[in-house]
């Protein structure tokens, strides 16, 4: 069938995943590689092109609706350009043009928070939910805002950066250059910072024990595992992450009155305490009439980025063909 598949690519700071995706969201072929960080922007483009060729082998070009790419970057959706990227050397690089010049398919790029939100909206926990906000907690904090069943992009496409809501004007620095943003409290580096501080403060801290006695081995995953099994210090650290997320959500819920909040990303999906504590804050502090908002954990895991990027390609294809 014409346009039966789309290719979804999720470019991360650590890993790139590509999938051949059916219209209902099933990933029928997949390829994953480590992100070639030292090869510059062309190394990343080469990797993307190679993965697309691999997963489309034997598939007729007419069956491919297009390629969607989610990037860990500030993407000007209107111009389809990358403005800025903290984790990868993609700022100012015409990723779309470079990929498209080497493949026979149309290419659409977006910010990875948007593609993850699209994935959960079309195929995951937010299916059928018209108004929701996605927050992804991982190496950074990203997100996407859905209003009336459509992603809110703002005037140029940069909308939905929930990770950079100010929690405390005097708070710790944020990688974006700001201070006290949600990302300064709820991303992987913040968890490691808080855990090392706890380990240094309390002699014989359980965090150090959880890390096998080695302070340098403290990772966010060690803290999350500890919290999930009830370790007191780890519960305090991850509970604080949930509280800070909750504070940001109170403002979001007051402004947008969504039906649901979807908490995803590697951290959001592996630590139920985070969304529980955030939900409690929202229930206690949001303005009257808005407190019935559901705080849900994302369910597509790592597939959200690939499936969502494919959904982006399908949408683009269908609007070009006048299908909706």
18-28: b (≥16 Cβ within 10 Å) or e:
bbbbebebebe
Rounded to whole angstroms, how far apart are CA atoms 2 and 170? 55
| Cα–Cα distance, 324 to 89 (Å, whole number) | 36
Report the residue number, 174 or 218, with the smaller CB distance to Zn ion: 174
Nearer to Zn ion, 181 or 188 (CB): 181
Residue 109 near Zn ion by CB under 5 A: no
Least CB distance from residue 203 to Zn ion, whole Å?
A: 34
Among 96, 153, 181, 317, binds Zn ion (CB under 5 A): 181
Q: Confirm or reject binding of residue 164 to Zn ion (CB under 5 A).
A: yes
Report in angstroms how near the CB of residue 244 gets to Zn ion at its nearest.
13
**CA 117 – CA 314 distance, rounded (Å):** 15
Q: Which stretch binds Zn ion (CB under 5 A): 111-119, 122-130, 181-189, 216-224?
A: 181-189
Q: Measured from the CB of residue 271, what is the shortest distance to Zn ion in angstroms?
A: 22
If the CB atoms of residues 114 and 181 are measured against Zn ion, the closer one turns out to be 181
Stretch that binds Zn ion, among 6-14, 64-72, 103-111, 159-167 (CB under 5 A): 159-167
Instruction: Candidates 35-43, 106-114, 162-170, 234-242: pick the segment binding Zn ion (CB under 5 A).
Output: 162-170
Radius of gyration of the chain (CA): 20
CB of 181 to Zn ion, least distance (A): 4
User: Given candidates 176, 192, 235, 283, which one binds Zn ion under the rule CB under 5 A?
Assistant: 176
Angle 69-86-220 from CA coordinates, rounded to 5°: 95
- C-beta separation of 120 from 249 below 8 A: no
**Per-residue burial over 177-187, b = 16 or more CB atoms within 10 Å of its CB, e = otherwise:** eeebbbbbbbb
Q: Using CA atoms, how far apart are residues 5 and 243, in angstroms rounded to an integer?
A: 41
- Least separation in angstroms between CB 133 and Zn ion: 17
Question: What's the closest the beta carbon of residue 104 comes to Zn ion, in angstroms?
Answer: 39
The residue (of 112 and 315) whose beta carbon lies closer to Zn ion is 112
> Structure tokens of 43?
């190394």
178 makes contact with Zn ion (CB under 5 A) = yes
Q: By CB under 5 A, tell whether 248 contacts Zn ion.
A: no
* Minimal distance, residue 77 CB to Zn ion, in Å: 20
Query: Rounded to an integer, what distance in angstroms lies between the CA atom of residue 138 and that of residue 186?
Result: 8
Beta bridge partners of 30: 19
For residue 52, the number of C-alpha atoms closer than 13 Å in the C-beta half-sphere is 29
Binding site for Zn ion (CB under 5 A): 164, 174, 176, 178, 181
């Amino acid at each position: 069938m014409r346009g039966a598949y789309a290719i979804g690519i999720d470019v991360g700071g650590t890993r790139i995943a590509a999938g051949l995706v059916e219209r209902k969201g099933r990933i029928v072929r997949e390829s994953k590689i480590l992100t070639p960080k030292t090869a510059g922007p062309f190394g990343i483009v080469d990797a993307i092109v190679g993965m697309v060729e691999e997963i489309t082998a034997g598939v007729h070009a007419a069956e491919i609706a297009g390629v969607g790419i989610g990037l860990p970057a500030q993407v000007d959706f209107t111009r389809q350009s990358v403005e800025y990227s903290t984790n990868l050397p993609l700022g100012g690089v015409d990723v779309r043009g470079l990929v498209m010049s080497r493949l026979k398919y149309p290419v659409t790029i977006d910010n990875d928070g948007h593609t993850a939100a699209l994935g959960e909206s079309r195929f995951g926990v937010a299916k059928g939910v018209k108004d929701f906000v996605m927050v992804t907690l991982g190496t950074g904090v990203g997100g996407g805002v859905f209003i009336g069943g459509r992603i809110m992009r703002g005037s140029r496409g940069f909308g939905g950066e929930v990770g950079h809501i100010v929690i405390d004007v005097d708070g710790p620095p944020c990688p974006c250059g700001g201070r006290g943003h949600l990302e300064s409290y709820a991303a992987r580096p913040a968890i490691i910072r808080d855990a090392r501080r706890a380990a240094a403060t309390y002699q014989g801290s359980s965090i150090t024990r959880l890390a096998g006695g080695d302070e340098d081995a403290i990772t966010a995953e060690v803290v999350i595992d500890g919290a999930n099994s009830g370790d007191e210090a780890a519960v305090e650290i991850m509970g604080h992450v949930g509280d800070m997320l909750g504070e940001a959500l109170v403002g979001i819920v007051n402004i947008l009155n969504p039906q649901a909040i979807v908490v995803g990303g590697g951290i959001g999906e592996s630590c139920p305490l985070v969304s529980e504590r955030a939900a409690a804050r929202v229930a206690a502090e949001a303005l009257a009439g808005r407190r019935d908002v559901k705080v849900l954990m994302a369910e597509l895991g790592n597939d959200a980025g690939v499936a969502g990027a494919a959904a982006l390609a399908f949408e683009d294809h269908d609007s070009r063909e006048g299908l909706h």
